[in-house]
Structure 1
């Protein structure tokens, strides 16, 4: 227990000691002064045909409150190992697999350069597709990055998942650590540096085309991860890390305090490099502590996010720094196979978007109230996540602020 407390405190200290502007609770962006882990690049030797898998859209048609257009999405398969159902994701290390890029023969002449790398061939092919396709069709390479290990991840491991979901996750923290809008642990910083070093290697040795647009969730762990991964990385001329905060890129909205974001003013003070999308509100408009977003509602949100990006951003290569649940939702929307990401991992996906007629309705899917044990850690939880509380007390859907006048003792 003491070791866990010290690890959380050291994680917070690491991220609060390097900036003058801090979020409430002493949480700020991570230091980029530590060296990460560099792993050799190994390319896959498999040659496979390229195909397209369309998404079975879970989304209704109708009104999109911020746009008059929507897109139908599909995944361009045969580009990466992660596209293939035959690839086992258990133990898959993206830094040992050239991000999973396959040695593919593309159905066009190669670019007019000597001995092009597979990344140069892919970028050349995507450029060809975008030039040759109708105006309503576009292709983008998305790098979907999950944030590094956070305080909340460590807390769930320490308390166990039933205790976490049914009681502790609703608090802002305990007597030694804060997991409201959780910051990175030192291990999470190391994971982000590992990604940064791998990008540096591919830029130098494989001439990979980096993202020219960077989108990030407004939650602290993602902002820190993006900063650690990209801020001190030397990019080619014409490329610049200028992250744009997108509300819809955040984690699925639960009643857990780690999914509640800080006010805009605090984010701006702690991360002065970031820009905010138009209309980004001062206070968190989504988290209530009572209702949770359903998978259908999250998929609507994810589709609206993609509509916004594909409808307004001409970048061919884009970085998203987000969360495991949100990345899973994005994969559902674009029709990609299920691919879980551990903290700090990155998944590349080539997405085809075709502009549809009309607009997309956002917000039609219902949310659900979430019940939890307000009288302490549960006896257990059962299949489906229902909580079994102590002393026969029924789980209740109530705002955590009405229960936690003080933080639970560790």
Structure 2
């Protein structure tokens, strides 16, 4: 189903078309190509899976693009396969060749990209939710800018969150240098500080080729679901630019947050629509095949839904790669939907906060159920 046009504030600037032209009366349909990563498999448990234990989940398998290896039969010894030729030695190298093969053989209306999506490390908002409990967090505390100890509006990373980014940094370095993982050609990040910092600490100090330098682009629509939580209220562009000197911003990126109001949150349909739009923007304006995206659990979940990937919720610091097939199809009729909804909450700390039952406001306040199940992301 194609969604109706987003609000003017979220409308993307016209994409500068790269090599891929979208034909008239056509749109892009996305699908995740299964069978290449453990995360594709429904038996892989997202709650216990750690990318660092499993080579980012890349499966050991053969590909149709693999070169034929001769069987060597030495006299007096068992036959064995000849070694892989240079450039096909590691699983990552062979997978890279396979993706190249897919794009070379694909018709003009189809292309393939590998999106490696990482959730930011633990932020102070995540720690605060753990401290207060999810019901109380959603009832009251998430609407505050912080407490007497910490600030969680546009939260920074905790020490644990920084450690998660350092872990990713070391793991990427090892995969690039020892396992033949392809270097990223493009880097994108949410504008929220926790993502910019995670991307910076993950990639900025790696010894990358000049042709694959870490020059991240901030895109508004890679941000988390826009709720009344202050952790979803991004800082201004001037502040964000101080987080990393080589940060770049998409065309039209506003100085101040024009989307967060503190009273209304976007609907699921609205977030799905902007997730589709940002993918369309990337696929039509960026001819890179290997792309890094640093985002949030909620937004990555919506991106996975748009890619028709199985549900796979990431904990902080976790990473998921997806082989994406994008194909032009006939435009479907549009449907209308509510973009924003009011989110009421307690005006004071709740009387009780019980997991699974929600929170109870004081007698002078009222809680709307719309905020009862959200989590800091």
Report the TM-score, using the length of structure 2 for normalisation.
0.84
- Contact 1:62–1:358 (CA under 8 A) maintained in structure 2: no
- Which of 66, 76, 86 is the equivalent residue of 2:43? 86
Gaps of 5+ in 1: 1-56, 398-410
- Which of 245, 248, 253 is the equivalent residue of 2:226? 253
Could you tell me which residue of structure 2 aligns to residue 72 of structure 1? 29
Q: Deviations over 1:320-350 (max 9, x none)?
A: 0000000000000001111111111111111
Q: CA deviation at 1:294?
A: 1.6
1:347 & 1:236 partners in 2: Cα distance?
Answer: 23
Q: CA deviation at 1:157?
A: 0.7
2:296 & 2:332 partners in 1: Cα distance?
Answer: 27
Give the superposed CA RMSD: 2.4
1:218 aligns to 2:191 (yes or no): yes
Could you tell me which residue of structure 1 aligns to residue 297 of structure 2? 324
1:115 & 1:307 partners in 2: Cα distance?
Answer: 32
Could you tell me which residue of structure 2 aligns to residue 297 of structure 1? 270
Q: Deviations over 1:149-197 (max 9, x none)?
A: 1000111111111111111110111122110000000111110010010
Gaps of 5+ in 2: 16-21, 68-83, 370-377
1:114 & 1:396 partners in 2: Cα distance?
Answer: 58
Secondary structure in structure 2 of the residue aligned to 1:348: strand
1:60 aligns to 2:32 (yes or no): no
1:360 & 1:306 partners in 2: Cα distance?
Answer: 20
- Contact 2:87–2:94 (CA under 8 A) maintained in structure 1: no
- Contact 1:168–1:377 (CA under 8 A) maintained in structure 2: no
Secondary structure in structure 2 of the residue aligned to 1:354: strand
Could you tell me which residue of structure 1 aligns to residue 243 of structure 2? 270
- Which of 141, 148, 151 is the equivalent residue of 2:114? 141
Q: CA deviation at 1:77?
A: 0.3
2:267 & 2:124 partners in 1: Cα distance?
Answer: 24
- Contact 1:297–1:363 (CA under 8 A) maintained in structure 2: no
- Contact 1:74–1:335 (CA under 8 A) maintained in structure 2: yes
1:391 aligns to 2:334 (yes or no): no
Q: Label 1:273 to 1:65 Cα distance change in 2 as closer, same or farther (>3 A).
A: closer
Q: CA deviation at 1:88?
A: 2.5
2:355 & 2:167 partners in 1: Cα distance?
Answer: 37
Counterparts of residues 46-195 of structure 1 (less than 5 Å):
57=1, 59-60=2-3, 66-67=13-14, 70-110=27-67, 113=86, 116-195=89-168
- Contact 2:265–2:341 (CA under 8 A) maintained in structure 1: yes
- Contact 2:216–2:247 (CA under 8 A) maintained in structure 1: yes
Q: Label 1:362 to 1:151 Cα distance change in 2 as closer, same or farther (>3 A).
A: farther
Q: CA deviation at 1:384?
A: 9.0
Report the TM-score, using the length of structure 1 for normalisation.
0.77
1:345 aligns to 2:283 (yes or no): no
Q: CA deviation at 1:368?
A: 1.2
Q: CA deviation at 1:85?
A: 1.1
1:336 aligns to 2:293 (yes or no): no
2:162 & 2:335 partners in 1: Cα distance?
Answer: 35
Secondary structure in structure 1 of the residue aligned to 2:3: coil
